[in-house]
Each structure stands twice: as structure tokens, then as C-alpha cells.
Amino acid sequence: MKSFLTLAAVATFALVGCSSKDKKQETPQPPTAAEQAKSQLDAGQATYVSQTEKRIGEMTKFSGDLRSASAKTTDKVRAKKMQNAADDLDSLLKDAGTSLNEVKTSTPENWVVFKRDVDKVMTRAETQFSNSVTLMQ
């Protein structure tokens, strides 16, 4: 009985040893060119979204400052121009934010299409921002 148990134990260890040798060590494969390109697109998309959100935040803060300045000025015509400029800037920033959400939710392969829409609105917002800075002086 003892020899049978010993033989069974040896056979079990032998089978386990053989099966572990049969398993090949899987080495990580380097990323393919397509995977590398997708990764770069993902990084580019994330960077673009981050930078654009930051700029929208800066312009939104300026719009609030412009509203505060318009409330403090005694010149009613100038105050109205400042208020209108803040309204226009807010409207453009809202449009930019909506378009930026499309960039965020798009696939890495087609986000550049939506980026064009954001760029168009941001160009108009930058122009409005520059004009508004002039009103603040």
C-alpha cells in the first residue's frame, strides 16, 4: 500500500512537472504600428481637451470680470458694451464647450473631425476676448 501511494505521488508530480514545461512563457509582444498610432491619438486627444478646457476656464473668468467692471462703471454706454461683450463671449464659450464634449466622447480615430468645430468657435471666442480686453482698458 505504501509503495502504491508513493508511486501515485511520483506520477502526480511528474504529470504536473510535464504540464508546466509544456506551457510556454508568454513574452509581451511589442505594440503594433496601429496600436502605437492609436495611443498617440489618444494622448493627443486628451492633451487637446485639457488645454482647451483650461483656456475656456480662463475666458469664462475674464467674462465674469468684464461683468463686474461693467457694473462698476458710471458710463452707461460703455457699461452696455461691456455687458454685451460678456454675453457674446459667454455664448461662444458655451458653444465651444458643447463642441468639446463631442471631442471627448468621439473615438480616437475621428476626434479630429470634431476638433475642427471647436477650433472654429475658439477662434471666434479669442477674437471676442481680444475685443473685450480693449473695452476693459
C-alpha–C-alpha distance, residues 61 and 71, integer Å: 16
Predicted confidence at residue 88, as pLDDT, reads 97
| Contact (CB, 8 A) for 86 and 66 | yes
99 found inside a domain: yes
3-state helix, strand, coil in the chain (%, to 5): 85, 0, 15
Residues 6+ apart with CB under 8 A from 126: none
8 found inside a domain: no
Domain that holds residue 75: 40-136
88 found inside a domain: yes
**E-assigned strand segments in 1-137:** none
49 found inside a domain: yes
How many CA atoms within 13 Å lie on the side-chain side of 96?
25
Q: Which three cell numbers stand for residue 78?
A: 460703455
Binning pLDDT at 50, 70 and 90, where does residue 108 land? confident
Report the amino acid identity of residue 122: M
Mean pLDDT to the nearest integer, 17-33: 59
Residue 113: Cβ within 10 Å count: 11
Mean pLDDT to the nearest integer, 83-91: 97
17 found inside a domain: no
Predicted confidence at residue 31, as pLDDT, reads 65
Task: Answer yes or no: is pLDDT of 100 > 50.
Answer: yes
10 found inside a domain: no
* Global pTM value: 0.69
Question: When comparing pLDDT for 16 and 32, which is higher?
Answer: 32
Residue 42: Cβ within 10 Å count: 13
For 31-84, the pLDDT digits (tens) are 665 565 556 557 889 999 999 999 999 999 999 999 999 999 999 999 999 999
Q: Which three cell numbers stand for residue 109?
A: 480615430
Q: What's the structural domain count of the chain?
A: 1
35 found inside a domain: no
Binning pLDDT at 50, 70 and 90, where does residue 125 land? very high
| Contact (CB, 8 A) for 119 and 73 | no
